[in-house]
């Protein structure tokens, strides 16, 4: 069939089917001729041969009336990628509240005598703070890291010294048992686990649970490249096989590997002498272990003598125990056992309001922080600080928000899981629900702004969508999505979701296609 005949037939097809897609037999908003033209134009975009090979879902509604403006496969299930974060952050706004603050403490069940000697263990207790790092808050247009990545640990160590601590007879314990020890979500790709976007989850998270590696060419060809690692380079074993090649022999070919369960980093390949160098953020293996060893070093650097070991404490998934210094003090829940004395807090740090981190999550699509929020939901509003505990709370929240249970299946809070499924209709439903809440504008403000910041900073340039669209991006291999809010040229506020799965187009073309659809949605005067 010729392209012209195909489009002519398709227009008839969409004109017949779009009203049915709208649900409940509601008429589409606006003038019929405008809606037919919109359907024709979007179908023409989707009719591109490369585009048409993928699976597409689009749903757009008026925020004022709730009536559909355009619908295509809106009730089919798609892999959402990071559009999952729209649901996780909405639940935190609705159930936890924007003013919640995390608290990280250094505690002991012992005492510090007049000589500065602690006669017990020193325990660093994490409670899920995502921003124990050098990140600048509040987020403003882009991520900034002006402070040292371990500044919070340094501050806690300083507090202990100011408290008079000089000797520790016991161990240094890193306790992340506030959340269940589940580092990775179901359906995560093994290829992601050593990288920043697949960093392990822990209630004791330092510097996003990554290290920063910088690789620079050596002074002369034939020599090994220069490597620098921060923070805490002593934690790793380095095998550097990257060789410097003569100028003009680029491009560089450098590979990095860390096997699961190992702290050995292997680098190999070539880097030309005239290469400016580059940096990578690599995930660490066990955040609590990393924190405990680093904190011990910080104390020793400040003159504290430690006689005990460095160890960690997790809450294993198979255990119902929720151990921490605080839970030990409660007597373990045995009503016949008198409660133990409360632990003594020697140092503490309190986070900024959680709404600041919700902006980070949605603006830059921070996976680890979204996973911490999922576990926070389970800990504060459910049965446990576990993945399943969080998902149970999330499901209840979404159903109460009016979203049908058969329109979503989530296995994590970030969208990194390949097993997550959701309909465009469900995405638009959560957007509209949030819009109607007292915190709706604050929620919308967490989303990237087209052509301005976050993951949309470089998209929609020179289009009518700049500063008009606020939307969450999503991408995995062969998966792209964009969903959020906008105002059309006639002044109508809308919520929209555009999703594609099984798409083999180059990334740029896939994103350009989504952007083209959104720009056409805004132009409702045609």
| Residue-wise pLDDT tens digits, 347-357 | 999 999 999 99
Q: Are residues 269 and 330 in the same domain?
A: no
Q: Are residues 404 and 340 in the same domain?
A: no
Q: Which residue range(s) make up the domain with 121?
A: 103-183+286-350
- Please report whether residue 127 resides in a domain: yes
Q: Are residues 70 and 216 in the same domain?
A: no
Q: Are residues 346 and 375 in the same domain?
A: no
As a whole number of angstroms, the distance between CA 136 and CA 128 comes to: 18
- Please report whether residue 188 resides in a domain: no
- Please report whether residue 194 resides in a domain: no
Contacts of 249 (CB under 8 A, 6+ apart): 270, 272
- For residue 342, name the pLDDT band (cuts at 50, 70, 90): confident
Q: Are residues 220 and 292 in the same domain?
A: no
Q: Are residues 424 and 293 in the same domain?
A: no
Q: Are residues 54 and 150 in the same domain?
A: no
Q: How many CB atoms lie within 10 A of CB 513?
A: 22
Q: Where are the beta strands (DSSP E) in 284-416?
A: 305-306, 310-315, 344-350, 408-409
Return the CATH number at 159. Answer: 3.50.80.20
- For residue 28, name the pLDDT band (cuts at 50, 70, 90): very low
Which of 313, 335, 350 is the C-terminal boundary of a domain? 350
Cβ burial of 353 (10 Å; 0-12, 13-18, 19+) is: middle
Per-residue confidence (pLDDT) for residue 323, from 0 to 100: 42
- Please report whether residue 56 resides in a domain: yes
As a whole number of angstroms, the distance between CA 523 and CA 526 comes to: 6
- Asked whether the beta carbons of 387 and 412 are under 8 A apart, the reply is yes
Give the pair of three-digit tokens for residue 38: 């919109």
Question: pLDDT tens digits, residue range 253-274?
Answer: 999 988 878 888 999 999 999 9
As a whole number of angstroms, the distance between CA 333 and CA 304 comes to: 35
Give the pair of three-digit tokens for residue 305: 């003598």
Which of 224, 253, 283 is the C-terminal boundary of a domain? 283
- For residue 27, name the pLDDT band (cuts at 50, 70, 90): very low
User: How many domains are contained in the chain?
Assistant: 3
Cβ burial of 504 (10 Å; 0-12, 13-18, 19+) is: exposed
Which of 350, 370, 398 is the C-terminal boundary of a domain? 350
As a whole number of angstroms, the distance between CA 520 and CA 41 comes to: 8
Instruction: Pick the range with the lowest mean pLDDT from 33-42, 124-133, 447-456, 477-486.
Output: 33-42
End-to-end CA distance of the chain: 28
Q: Are residues 82 and 113 in the same domain?
A: no
- For residue 10, name the pLDDT band (cuts at 50, 70, 90): very low
Return the CATH number at 414. Answer: 3.40.710.10
Question: pLDDT tens digits, residue range 383-418?
Answer: 999 999 999 999 999 999 999 999 999 999 999 999
As a whole number of angstroms, the distance between CA 132 and CA 125 comes to: 12
Per-residue confidence (pLDDT) for residue 194, from 0 to 100: 84
Give the CA diameter of the chain.
Answer: 91
- Please report whether residue 415 resides in a domain: yes
Higher pLDDT, 30 or 395: 395
- Please report whether residue 190 resides in a domain: no
Share of the chain above pLDDT 70, in %: 90
Instruction: Pick the range with the lowest mean pLDDT from 93-107, 123-137, 314-328.
Output: 314-328
Q: Are residues 307 and 171 in the same domain?
A: yes
- Asked whether the beta carbons of 345 and 109 are under 8 A apart, the reply is no
Task: Give the pLDDT mean for 436-440.
Answer: 97
- Asked whether the beta carbons of 130 and 358 are under 8 A apart, the reply is no
Q: Are residues 88 and 126 in the same domain?
A: no
Give the pair of three-digit tokens for residue 276: 């400016």
As a whole number of angstroms, the distance between CA 270 and CA 184 comes to: 32
Instruction: Pick the range with the lowest mean pLDDT from 118-132, 140-154, 230-244, 320-334.
Output: 320-334
Query: Looking at the predicted structure, is the pLDDT value of residue 228 above 70?
Result: yes
Question: pLDDT tens digits, residue range 53-80?
Answer: 999 999 999 999 999 999 999 999 999 9
- Please report whether residue 203 resides in a domain: no
Beta bridge partners of 118: 112, 168
Q: Are residues 42 and 109 in the same domain?
A: no
* Average pLDDT of the chain to the nearest whole number: 90
Per-residue confidence (pLDDT) for residue 405, from 0 to 100: 96
C-alpha pair distances (Å), 411 with each of 94, 204, 354, 388: 20, 22, 23, 8
């Amino acid at each position: 069939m010729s392209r012209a005949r195909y489009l002519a037939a398709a227009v008839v097809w969409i004109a017949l089917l779009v009203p049915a897609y709208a649900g409940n037999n509601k008429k589409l908003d606006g003038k019929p001729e405008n809606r037919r033209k919109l359907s024709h134009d979007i179908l023409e975009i989707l009719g591109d041969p490369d585009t048409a090979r993928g699976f597409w879902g689009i749903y757009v509604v008026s925020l004022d009336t709730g009536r559909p403006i355009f619908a295509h496969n809106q009730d089919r299930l798609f892999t959402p990628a990071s559009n999952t974060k729209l649901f996780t952050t909405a639940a935190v706004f609705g159930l936890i509240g924007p003013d919640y603050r995390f608290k990280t403490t250094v505690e002991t069940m012992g005492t510090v005598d007049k000589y500065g000697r602690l006669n017990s263990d020193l325990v660093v207790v994490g409670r899920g703070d995502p921003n124990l790092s050098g990140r600048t808050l509040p987020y403003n247009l882009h991520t900034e890291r002006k402070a040292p990545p371990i500044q919070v640990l340094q501050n806690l160590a300083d507090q202990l010294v100011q408290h008079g601590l000089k000797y520790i007879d016991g161990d240094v314990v890193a306790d992340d048992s506030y959340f269940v020890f589940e580092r990775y979500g179901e359906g995560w790709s093994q290829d992601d686990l050593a990288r920043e976007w697949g960093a392990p989850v822990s209630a004791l998270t330092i510097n996003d649970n990554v290290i920063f590696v910088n690789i620079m060419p050596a002074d002369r060809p034939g020599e090994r490249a220069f490597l620098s690692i921060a923070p805490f380079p002593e934690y790793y074993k380095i095998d550097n096989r990257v060789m410097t090649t003569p100028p003009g022999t680029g491009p560089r070919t450098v590979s990095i590997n860390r096997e699961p369960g190992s702290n050995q980093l292997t680098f190999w390949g070539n880097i030309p002498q005239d290469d400016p160098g580059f940096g990578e953020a690599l995930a660490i293996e066990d955040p609590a272990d990393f924190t405990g060893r680093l904190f011990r070093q910080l104390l020793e650097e400040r003159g504290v003598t430690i006689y005990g070991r460095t160890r960690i404490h997790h809450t294993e998934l198979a255990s119902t125990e929720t151990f921490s210094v605080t839970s030990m003090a409660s007597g373990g829940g045995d009503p016949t056992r008198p409660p133990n004395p409360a632990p003594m807090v020697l140092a503490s740090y309190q986070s900024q309001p959680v709404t600041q981190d919700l902006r980070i999550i949605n603006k830059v699509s921070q996976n680890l922080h979204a996973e911490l929020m999922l576990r926070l939901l389970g800990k504060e509003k459910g049965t446990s600080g576990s993945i399943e505990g969080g998902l149970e709370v999330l499901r209840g929240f979404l159903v109460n928000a009016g979203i049908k249970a058969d329109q979503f299946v989530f296995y994590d809070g970030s969208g990194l899981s390949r097993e997550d499924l959701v309909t465009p209709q469900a995405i638009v439903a959560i957007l509209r629900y949030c819009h109607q809440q007292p915190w709706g504008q604050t929620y919308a403000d967490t989303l990237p702004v087209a052509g301005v910041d976050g993951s949309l900073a470089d998209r929609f340039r020179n289009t009518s969508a700049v500063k008009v669209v606020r939307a969450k991006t999503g991408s995995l291999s062969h998966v792209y999505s964009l969903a959020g809010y906008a105002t059309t040229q006639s002044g109508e506020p809308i919520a929209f979701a555009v999703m594609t799965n099984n798409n083999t187009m180059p990334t740029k073309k896939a994103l350009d296609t989504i952007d083209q659809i959104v720009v056409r949605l805004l132009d409702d005067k045609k």
